[in-house]
Amino acid sequence: MNNKLYNEFIEKKNKGIKSFAVLIDPDKADETSLNKLIDLSVKAGVDYFFVGGSLVVSNSTDECISTIKSNCDIPVLLFPGSPSQISRYADALLYLSLISGRNPELLIGQHVISAPMVKKSGLAIIPTGYLVIDGGAPTTVSYISNAAPIPSDKDDIAICTAMAGEMLGLKLIYMDAGSGARIPITESMIEKVAKNVAIPIIVGGGITTPEKAYLNCKAGADVIVIGNAIEKDPTIITEISAAIHNSYSKA
Ligand code: 1GP
């Protein structure tokens, strides 16, 4: 797989470098708030923007990404809830298969239907095993996916799911408690999954503090994704970015 961004994930993992991804929901990003977010992110050293969500109502993904691309060099990765969110303006596509669920549509069905369109987009594709973990409340992803999340205390299920995903050839594991989760994924689960797979691990859902971001990195997460908490207060980007980027230099 010749993919610059993915190679960067691997290089960083090998060096123990952790990354911060800010999740942008195009529905909520008006131009003023987006410009402010970009400015704060550049200053704080944010590594990636993820754009998308389980349910995007407006048709503004292209516009949102164009605004980001014309204002900064932070790479944009699509994190799509459905094929309709594919935008050729992004740098790469997290090509998600919901391997924690048993809904064939999100495992492979939608991929089949959209394959020609995705290929034609020319996007760098990063095959990603998507694990939804119970976040203590019904989240949009748990409702929309129509698939049971992994119970938050069943570390073994998460380990085996991630291992199977890696052996199937997926290149990243994304562990997600869902946007606005009441309970983020435990460090215990992250640590055990990280010990059992070699591919990079993205962790998100319900992370609201620099402390939790830091602890997740220490537990083995390679990329921390935060959306909701930043929508509420974009200024936390600075502190959270420092916590993530200090988690490896302080070791
Ligand atoms: C959701 O992992 C992301 O898919 C981020 O979650 O919005 O709760 O930060 P939050």
Tell me the per-residue pLDDT of 4-14, one tens digit each, with 9 for 90 and over. Answer: 999 999 999 99
pLDDT tens-digit map of 80-134: 998 889 999 999 999 999 999 999 999 999 999 999 999 999 999 999 999 999 9
Ligand 1 atom, smallest distance to 204 CA:
2
What domain count does the chain have? 1
Testing ligand 1's pocket by substitution, the residue of 20, 51, 134, 228 carrying the most ligand atoms inside 8 A of its CB is 228
Pocket around ligand 1 at a 6 A CB cut-off: 23, 176, 179-181, 204-207, 225-229
Nearest to 87 by CA among 134, 51, 56, 40: 51
Question: 204 CA to middle of ligand 1, Å?
Answer: 5
pTM (two decimals):
0.97
- The span from the CA of 28 to the CA of 25, in Å, is 6
Query: Is the model's pLDDT at 250 over the cut of 70?
Result: no
pLDDT tens-digit map of 20-42: 999 999 998 899 999 999 999 99
3-state SS class at 101: coil
Ligand 1 atom, smallest distance to 226 CA:
9
What integer is the mean pLDDT of 52-69?
90
Domain that holds residue 45: 4-249
Where is 125: in which H helix or E strand?
strand 124-132
Where is 242: in which H helix or E strand?
helix 236-249
CATH number of the domain enclosing 182: 3.20.20.390
- The span from the CA of 1 to the CA of 190, in Å, is 26
